[in-house]
């Protein structure tokens, strides 16, 4: 099968679109399929990757910046000029390579590629990775529904997105296929960390995620009451860093909370192996890749009761918590109080990641869906 994956960005830009595209591409290639990645200019990660890049020189500086940062599709919906030259070139390239499947991810500009591909009788699959906004104008709702109704298959990466997309766009989702994780790259430590270190990976850009991080920092004071030697290590960077720093200072936690900045994948894999508990507190999310990365690293999880996390972070691998500081503190403290419990949950987390979230497993689900629409 010849599969064209169309993504808003790719390496060296790290983010959901990059990692999902890479994971599927690698798994498809290993299963004997031909994969072509279409994206704005990037750096190929492996020599055997077939990547076709497109020049963004005709775009404004603002548009380039937004693409490189991988801004959420919904935040960009009709928000800036259509990338006319890239769209045209991508469609011409799709006509040249003649793929069996055109699979687009996320961004509205690249959904237009799918729409035009569909008009030329190519099979179009689109995957929503993020949640729709809380409110869409009637015009945007109508246009979005019209665009995506042309797809042969609409998928989402978390079950809770199905209802949201139906309510806010009026669009029926065909399948919910969870994202995957590289279980060969992220591996458990030889021995689980005994020192009380809490870790989290956050995005200092999205308001709802930053507010969740601030809640975690405030909750951390309660953890220190029970476990005074604990440290909180935060990986991430973004425009709200100053707010995060002010919150740490306001609660007198400068010596206990470390901001580690942005990390590359190799550093990130080492980070997961160095912590005792992974936490993900956010007011808006579907199923963060960082949670899956921590799971496959054999680390127990404390996560918010939001999105698809309650379905993934089950009692045998971690604790799902509400948004009360006391509840979050107690959940983290419970795991820190027992090395044996952390070890047990961490082993279960790794096994679950291997069984349900390895990229070959996820790729098989997409390939089955492709085959169904090609029949």
Q: What is the pLDDT of residues 302-327, one digit of tens each?
A: 999 998 999 999 999 999 999 999 99
Q: Structure tokens of 375? A: 């029949």
> What pLDDT is attached to residue 116?
75
**Higher pLDDT among residues 87 and 181, named by residue:** 181
Q: Does residue 209 sit in the same domain as residue 335?
A: yes
**Count of domains forming the chain:** 2
Q: Answer yes or no: do 291 and 343 share one domain.
A: yes
* Lowest-pLDDT choice from 81-95, 164-178, 296-310: 81-95
Q: How far apart are CA 144 and CA 107, in angstroms?
A: 12
Q: What is the pLDDT of residues 222-249, one digit of tens each?
A: 999 999 999 999 999 989 999 999 999 9
Query: Which of 111-115, 260-264, 340-344 has the lowest average pLDDT?
Result: 111-115
> Is the separation of the CB atoms in 130 and 73 below 8 Å?
yes
pLDDT of 182 higher than 80 = yes
Q: What is the pLDDT, as a whole number, of residue 66?
A: 45
DSSP 131: P
Query: Once rounded to an integer, what is the mean pLDDT over residues 23-41?
Result: 91
Question: What is the greatest pairwise CA distance in the chain?
Answer: 64
**342 and 279 in one domain?**
yes
Question: Do 121 and 238 lie in a common domain?
Answer: no
pLDDT at residue 303, rounded to an integer:
97
Q: Look at residues 146, 152, 141 and name the one whose alpha carbon lies nearest to residue 175.
A: 152
Q: What is the mean pLDDT of the chain?
A: 86
- 63 shares its domain with 173: yes
252 contacts: CB under 8 Å, gap ≥ 6 = none
Residue in 192, 266, 208 with CA at minimum distance from that of residue 235: 266
Res 201: pLDDT: 95
pLDDT tens for each residue of 276-295: 999 999 998 888 999 999 99
Kindly report which listed range (81-90, 104-113, 200-209, 273-282) carries the lowest average pLDDT score. 81-90
Indicate if 291 and 325 belong to the same structural domain.
yes
pTM: 0.85
Q: Tell me, yes or no, whether 203 and 325 share the same domain.
A: yes
CATH code for the domain in which residue 237 is found: 3.40.50.2000
In a domain, 279, yes or no: yes
Q: Please tell me the predicted confidence (pLDDT) of residue 73.
A: 44
Tell me the residue range of the domain where 111 lies: 2-180+358-374
For residue 255, the tally of other CB atoms under 10 A from its CB is: 8
Same domain, yes or no, for 106 and 65?
yes
Q: How far apart are CA 99 and CA 114, in angstroms?
A: 12
More confident residue, 301 or 118: 301
DSSP classification of residue 89: H
pLDDT value, residue 61 = 52
Decide if pLDDT at 18 tops 90: no
Quick one: 141 and 202 in the same domain?
A: no
H-type alpha helices, the chain? 16-30, 61-69, 73-76, 84-97, 108-119, 138-148, 160-169, 207-226, 241-250, 265-274, 289-296, 309-312, 325-336, 339-356, 359-374
Q: b/e string for 207-246 if b means 16 or more Cβ within 10 A? A: eebbbbbbbbbbbbebbbeebeebbbbbbbbbebeebbee
Tell whether 133 and 234 lie within a shared domain. no
Q: Do 352 and 245 share a domain, yes or no?
A: yes
């Amino acid at each position: 099968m010849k599969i064209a994956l169309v993504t808003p960005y790719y390496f060296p830009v790290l983010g959901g679109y990059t990692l999902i595209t890479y994971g599927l591409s690698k798994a498809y290639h290993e299963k004997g399929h031909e994969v072509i990645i279409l994206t704005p200019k990037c750096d190929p990660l492996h020599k055997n990757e077939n990547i076709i890049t497109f020049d963004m020189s005709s775009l404004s500086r603002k548009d380039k910046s937004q693409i490189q940062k991988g801004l959420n599709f919904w935040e960009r919906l009709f928000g800036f000029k259509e990338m006319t030259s890239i769209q045209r070139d991508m469609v011409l390239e799709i006509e040249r390579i003649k793929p069996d499947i055109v699979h687009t991810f996320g961004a509205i500009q690249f959904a237009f590629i799918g729409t035009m591909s569909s008009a030329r009788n190519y099979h179009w699959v689109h995957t929503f990775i993020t949640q729709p906004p809380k409110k869409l104008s009637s015009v945007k709702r109508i246009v979005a529904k019209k665009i995506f109704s042309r797809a042969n298959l609409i998928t989402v990466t978390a079950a809770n997105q199905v209802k949201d997309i139906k309510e806010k766009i009026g669009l029926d989702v065909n399948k919910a296929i969870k994202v995957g994780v590289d279980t060969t790259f992220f591996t458990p430590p030889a021995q689980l960390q005994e020192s009380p270190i809490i870790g989290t990976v956050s995005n200092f850009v999205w308001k709802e995620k930053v507010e969740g991080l601030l809640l975690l920092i405030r909750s951390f004071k309660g953890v220190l009451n029970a476990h005074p030697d604990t440290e909180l290590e935060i990986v991430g960077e973004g425009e709200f860093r100053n707010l995060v720093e002010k919150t740490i200072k306001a609660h007198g936690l400068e010596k206990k909370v470390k901001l580690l900045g942005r990390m590359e994948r190799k550093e990130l894999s080492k980070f997961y192996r160095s912590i005792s508990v992974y936490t993900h507190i956010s007011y808006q999310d579907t199923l963060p890749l960082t949670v899956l990365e921590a799971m496959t690293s054999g680390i127990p999880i404390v996560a918010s009761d939001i999105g698809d996390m309650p379905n993934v972070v089950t009692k045998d691998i971690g604790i799902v918590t509400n948004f009360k500081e006391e509840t979050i503190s107690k959940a983290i403290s419970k795991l820190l109080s027992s090395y044996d419990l952390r070890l047990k949950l961490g082993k279960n987390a790794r096994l679950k990641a291997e069984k349900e979230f390895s990229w070959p497993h996820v790729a098989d689900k997409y390939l089955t869906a492709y085959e169904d629409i090609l029949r």
